[in-house]
Amino acid sequence: MNTPERKDHIDALAAGVLVGFNAVLGLNQALVKLVNVAFSPVFQSGLRSACAFFVVYAWARLAGKHLSIRDGSLKYGLFVGFLFALEFALLFIAVEYTSVARASLLFYSMPFITALAAHFLFPEERLTPLRFTGLAIAISGITLVLFDEQSQPAPDAWIGDLLALAAAFAWSGIALFTRGTRLIRSSPEQVMLYHLSVSAVLLVPLALIIGEPIREPTAALLGVFAFQVVAVASIGFLLWAWVLRIYPVSNMASFSLLAPVFGVFFGWLIFSDPLSWRFAVALAAVGAGLILINRR
């Protein structure tokens, strides 16, 4: 399959897709915490991947998408699948300890990690002094969150904070590895099937080994879980993978910082997450960093 024509900036179509996707992701952090009542975090993550695999595979077949493990992408696909499993296992466990608001803000430090790494890895995505300034402002906001005790829901919230931050590094690794390897020429559906299949194979058995995978499922929680499978793990990530193949990875990733705004809102709305003036300043700093780092 030929590599699609890449663009040097985010246009209106990509912006609309990314804003909508990140709005769903912001809500998703709260939904994950809800469904943790029904399933253990690792089992929820693995089961979601397993269910989404069949949705994505069915779509790919119906749409006539190219799927083949003989195109030289298998070894790369297995590695990004491992990173995908690591990312979501860490994130799902993180919201067990910390608030949705804090987990969202720390998890979506991914764009800044990605932009900084892309500066060194891809010559066409060098950071300008203005974008470096945005990166510094955003990092200061992330640091402020880590040391803000007033917005911590419990004394051990720091565990969830660090797990959410580690998940951000795993997510950044996926974006950078996909951008720089043979996977960039694979269809988004094939890349997603690598993600979903590997994570399902790794996480479901792991959840069975480490503890009780099923907690207290209800019809309502199963409905929430189904929404995650279809709207986030299937449709949402297919759109994200499509944008990743065409648009600059650092600029594209910057839109992910819209998700914490929604994450903070839904965390406050659903769980009454504690907030503070320091947290508000941190969110504003991240937003300012987003604006500066996404300047052409």
> Mean pLDDT over residues 114-126, rounded?
87
**Interatomic CA distance for residues 276 and 234, integer angstroms:** 35
Cα separation of the two ends of the chain? 30
**Position 18 confidence tier, pLDDT thresholds 50, 70, 90:** confident
pLDDT (tens digit per residue) in 135-153: 899 889 999 998 898 898 8
CA distance 270 to 266: 6
Is the entire prediction scored with pTM above 0.95? no
DSSP assignment, residue 213? S
pLDDT digits (tens, 9 = 90+) for 174-211: 999 988 888 888 888 898 899 999 999 999 999 999 98
Q: How far apart are CA 260 and CA 111, in angstroms?
A: 12
Beta bridge mates, 81: none
Helices and strands counted in the chain (H then E): 13, 0
- Residue 208's alpha-carbon distances to 85, 203, 286, in angstroms, are 15, 9, 38
Q: What is the mean pLDDT of residues 259-285?
A: 90
Is the pLDDT higher at 247 or at 76? 76
User: In this structure, what are the phi and psi dihedrals at residue 188, rounded to the nearest 5 degrees?
Assistant: -55, -35
Phi, psi for residue 39 in degrees, rounded to 5: -135, 155
Q: pLDDT value at position 1? A: 47
pLDDT value, residue 82: 98
What is the predicted pLDDT for the residue at 6?
64
Residue 4 has pLDDT above 60, yes or no: no
| Residue 121 confidence (pLDDT) above 60 | yes
Number of residues that make up the chain: 296
DSSP letter for 257, please: G
Tens-digit pLDDT profile for residues 20-69: 877 888 898 899 999 999 999 999 999 999 999 999 899 889 888 888 88
Q: Which carries the bigger pLDDT value, residue 283 or residue 89?
A: 89
Q: Give me the half-sphere count of Cα atoms (radius 13 Å) on the Cβ side of residue 22.
A: 25
Determine which of 101-105, 185-189, 273-277 has the lowest per-residue pLDDT on average: 185-189
Q: At what angle do helices 188-210 and 41-62 cross, to 10 degrees?
A: 150
CB 64 within 8 A of CB 215: no
**Backbone phi and psi for residue 214, each to the nearest 5 degrees, phi listed first:** -110, 130
- Looking at every residue in the chain, the average pLDDT score rounds to 87
Mean pLDDT confidence for 150-165: 93
Given pLDDT bands bounded at 50, 70 and 90, which one contains residue 16? confident
